C-alpha cells in the first residue's frame, strides 16, 4: 500500500510539472483559448433555423382576360393561392383584379386549398401578397414583369415565373440569378411546369403521394451551426495533438525524460503521467467548448461526456506516436499534416454528406464524429453506438501501446 502511495505521489508531481509546462508555452495556450472563444462566438452568431421555404415569384400576364374567357382552368383553385376560384369568374367578368397583392389581398379568410396537379398544396397563405403552395413552397405574386425581375435580382425569391396566358400557345419563362445553384433552377422549372399545367387544365390522371423512408426531416432540418459544432469539437480535439506531442518532444530534446528515468520513476509511471496530463488538457478544453456550444443539456450530457473522454484518449494516444517519432516541433508539424487532414475528414463530410464513403469507417475519428452528430442533432443515445464505443477504446489502446513502444525504445 505504501508503494502505491509513493507511485501516485510521484505521478501527481510529474502531472503538475507537465501541466505547468503546457501552459508555459504561451503561444499554444493563448491560441487554444482564443480558438475556443472564437468558435463559441461564431456558433452563437449563426442562424438557429434553416430556411426551408422555396419562394417562387409569379407574374400572370393576361391572366384576367384568360380567366374571363375561360382559357384558364379554375376548378379546385382556392382563395389565397393567387389563382381564381370558381366563384371568382364572375368577378373577373366584371373587371375585378384577381391577382393578390398588398393592395389587393384577395377575398377574406384566405385559406389555401388543394391545387390539382401541384402535390401537397394545402397550406394557408402566410402573408398578404404571397400564397402557400404546399409545405416548403410559397408563391410571391407581383403585378409587373419589372417587379418580378427585381425580386429575382435582389434574391428575395429563389426564382421568378412569367406565365403569358395571352400568347398562343401560352408562354412560360423562368428567371433565376447567375449565382443560383443548379438545383434551384431545376426545382423552379419543375414547379413552374406544374403550375402552368394546373392553370391550363392539363393534369396527370394520377394520385401523387410522397413516402419518406427513414425519419422525415421536413420542417426540422438541422441548422448549419449545429452540424458545425461537431466539426469544431473534433478540430479542437485534434489541435491538442500539437500541444501534447510538443510536450514529449521538449522532454526528449532537453533530456528531461532521461533525467527523470534515472530516478526511481519507472517507464510506466512516466508514460502514465504524460497520458494523464494529456487527458486532463484535452478533456478540459473539450468540456469547456461543449459547454459554450450548448452541447451539454439534460438529454445529452452523459453520452457527450462519454465520447469526450474517449475522444481525449484517442488524441492522447496518437500524440504519443507523434511525439516519439519527431525530433522537434517543426518536424512534428510536417509529419502530422497528412494524418491531421485524414482525421478531420469525417467531420467535414458532415457538412457535405454527398462525399460520404464506406472508406471513412477506417478513420478512427469517424467513431467519434458520427455518434456526436447523432446524439446532438438526431436525439440518439449511448445505446445506439456500442460499436463506436468499442472501436474508440480499441484505437486508443492501440495508439497508446504503439506510442509507448516507440517512446521506450527511444529513451533506452
Q: What is the tens place of the pLDDT at every residue in 309-336?
A: 999 999 998 988 888 888 888 888 888 8
In a domain, 341, yes or no: yes
What pLDDT, on a 0 to 100 scale, did the predictor assign at position 350?
82
Say which residue, 112 or 377, is predicted with more confidence: 377
Distance CA(202)–CA(340), nearest Å, equals: 57
Residues 161 and 239 in one domain: no
Distance CA(340)–CA(319), nearest Å, equals: 11
Residues 189 and 301 in one domain: no
Question: Domain count of the chain?
Answer: 2
Q: How far apart, in Å, are the Cα atoms of 332 and each of 17, 236, 245, 251, 322?
A: 22, 18, 8, 14, 6
Q: How far apart, in Å, are the Cα atoms of 391 and each of 163, 258, 398?
A: 58, 34, 11
Distance CA(19)–CA(7), nearest Å, equals: 18
In a domain, 217, yes or no: no
Judged against a pLDDT cut of 50, whether residue 105 lies above it is answered with no
What pLDDT, on a 0 to 100 scale, did the predictor assign at position 395?
94
| Confidence tier at 135 by pLDDT (50, 70, 90) | low
In a domain, 212, yes or no: no
Residues 366 and 226 in one domain: yes
Judged against a pLDDT cut of 50, whether residue 136 lies above it is answered with yes
Least confidently predicted of 43-52, 79-88, 151-160: 79-88
Domain-terminating residue out of 168, 200, 232: 200
Q: What integer is the mean pLDDT of 366-382?
A: 91
Say which residue, 94 or 160, is predicted with more confidence: 160
Instruction: Dump pLDDT digits (tens) for 332-347.
Output: 888 888 889 999 999 8
Judged against a pLDDT cut of 90, whether residue 27 lies above it is answered with no
In a domain, 208, yes or no: no
Nearest to 282, CA basis, from 17, 28, 14, 10: 28
In a domain, 254, yes or no: yes
In a domain, 210, yes or no: no
Residues 172 and 121 in one domain: yes
Ordered DSSP codes for 179-196: TS-HHHHHHHHHHHHHHH
Residues 34 and 153 in one domain: no
Long-range contacts of 269-275 (CB under 8 A, 24+ apart): 269/7, 269/10, 269/11, 269/14, 270/14, 271/320, 271/404, 271/407, 271/408, 272/11, 273/10, 273/11, 273/14, 273/15, 273/18, 274/14, 274/18, 274/244, 274/247, 274/248, 274/320, 275/316, 275/320, 275/400
Residues 333 and 380 in one domain: yes
In a domain, 355, yes or no: yes
Q: What integer is the mean pLDDT of 93-112?
A: 37
Identify the domain containing residue 66 by its residue range: 54-200
Residues 27 and 91 in one domain: no
Residues 184 and 81 in one domain: yes
Specify whether the CB–CB gap between 86 and 107 falls below 8 A: no
| Confidence tier at 79 by pLDDT (50, 70, 90) | very low
Distance CA(325)–CA(244), nearest Å, equals: 13
Residues 29 and 74 in one domain: no
CB 232: neighbour CB atoms within 10 A? 23
Residues 32 and 60 in one domain: no
Least confidently predicted of 76-90, 227-241, 346-360: 76-90
Cis? peptide before 169, omega within 30° of 0: yes
Residues 111 and 189 in one domain: yes
Q: How far apart, in Å, are the Cα atoms of 179 and each of 5, 137, 159, 175?
A: 68, 20, 11, 12
Instruction: Dump pLDDT digits (tens) for 289-309.
Output: 999 998 888 888 999 999 999
> pTM for the full model?
0.66
Residues 151 and 276 in one domain: no
In a domain, 251, yes or no: yes
Sign of CA dihedral 155, 173, 203, 188: negative
Say which residue, 72 or 160, is predicted with more confidence: 160
What pLDDT, on a 0 to 100 scale, did the predictor assign at position 94?
39
Q: Which residue has the cell 472501436?
A: 391
Domain-terminating residue out of 153, 170, 200: 200
Helices 267-292 + 26-45 axis angle, to 10: 30
Amino acid at each position: 500500500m505504501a508503494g502505491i502511495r509513493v507511485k501516485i505521489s510521484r505521478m501527481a508531481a510529474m502531472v503538475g510539472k507537465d501541466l505547468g509546462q503546457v501552459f508555459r508555452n504561451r503561444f499554444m495556450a493563448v491560441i487554444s483559448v482564443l480558438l475556443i472563444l472564437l468558435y463559441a462566438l461564431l456558433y452563437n452568431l449563426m442562424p438557429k433555423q434553416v430556411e426551408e421555404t422555396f419562394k417562387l415569384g409569379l407574374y400572370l400576364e393576361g391572366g384576367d382576360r384568360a380567366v374571363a374567357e375561360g382559357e384558364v382552368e379554375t376548378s379546385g383553385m382556392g382563395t389565397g393561392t393567387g389563382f381564381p376560384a370558381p366563384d371568382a369568374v364572375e368577378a373577373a367578368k366584371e373587371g375585378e383584379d384577381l391577382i393578390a397583392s398588398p393592395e389587393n389581398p384577395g377575398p377574406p379568410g384566405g385559406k389555401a386549398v388543394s391545387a390539382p396537379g401541384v402535390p401537397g398544396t394545402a397550406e394557408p397563405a402566410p402573408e398578404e401578397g404571397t400564397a402557400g403552395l404546399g409545405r416548403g413552397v410559397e408563391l410571391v405574386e407581383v403585378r409587373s414583369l419589372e417587379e418580378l425581375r427585381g425580386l429575382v435580382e435582389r434574391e428575395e425569391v429563389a426564382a421568378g415565373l412569367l406565365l403569358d396566358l395571352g400568347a398562343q400557345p401560352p408562354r412560360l419563362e423562368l428567371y433565376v440569378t447567375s449565382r443560383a445553384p443548379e438545383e434551384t433552377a431545376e426545382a423552379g422549372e419543375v414547379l413552374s411546369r406544374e403550375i402552368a399545367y394546373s392553370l391550363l387544365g392539363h393534369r396527370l390522371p394520377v394520385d401523387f403521394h410522397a413516402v419518406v423512408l427513414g425519419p422525415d426531416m421536413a420542417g426540422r432540418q438541422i441548422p448549419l451551426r449545429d452540424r458545425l459544432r461537431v466539426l469544431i469539437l473534433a478540430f479542437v480535439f485534434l489541435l491538442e495533438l500539437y500541444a501534447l506531442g510538443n510536450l514529449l518532444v521538449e522532454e526528449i530534446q532537453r533530456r528531461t525524460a532521461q533525467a527523470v528515468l534515472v530516478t526511481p520513476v519507472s517507464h510506466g509511471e512516466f508514460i502514465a503521467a504524460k497520458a494523464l496530463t494529456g487527458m486532463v488538457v484535452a478533456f478540459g478544453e473539450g468540456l469547456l467548448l461543449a459547454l459554450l456550444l450548448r452541447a451539454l443539456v439534460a438529454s445529452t450530457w452523459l453520452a457527450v461526456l462519454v465520447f469526450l473522454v474517449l475522444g481525449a484518449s484517442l488524441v492522447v494516444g496518437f500524440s504519443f506516436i507523434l511525439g516519439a517519432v519527431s525530433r522537434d516541433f517543426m518536424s512534428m508539424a510536417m509529419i502530422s499534416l497528412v494524418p491531421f487532414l485524414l482525421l478531420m475528414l469525417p467531420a467535414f463530410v458532415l457538412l457535405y454528406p454527398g462525399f460520404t464513403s464506406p472508406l471513412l469507417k477506417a478513420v478512427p475519428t469517424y467513431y467519434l464524429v458520427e455518434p456526436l452528430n447523432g446524439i446532438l442533432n438526431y436525439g440518439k443515445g449511448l445505446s445506439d453506438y456500442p460499436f463506436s464505443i468499442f472501436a474508440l477504446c480499441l484505437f486508443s489502446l492501440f495508439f497508446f501501446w504503439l506510442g509507448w513502444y516507440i517512446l521506450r525504445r527511444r529513451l533506452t
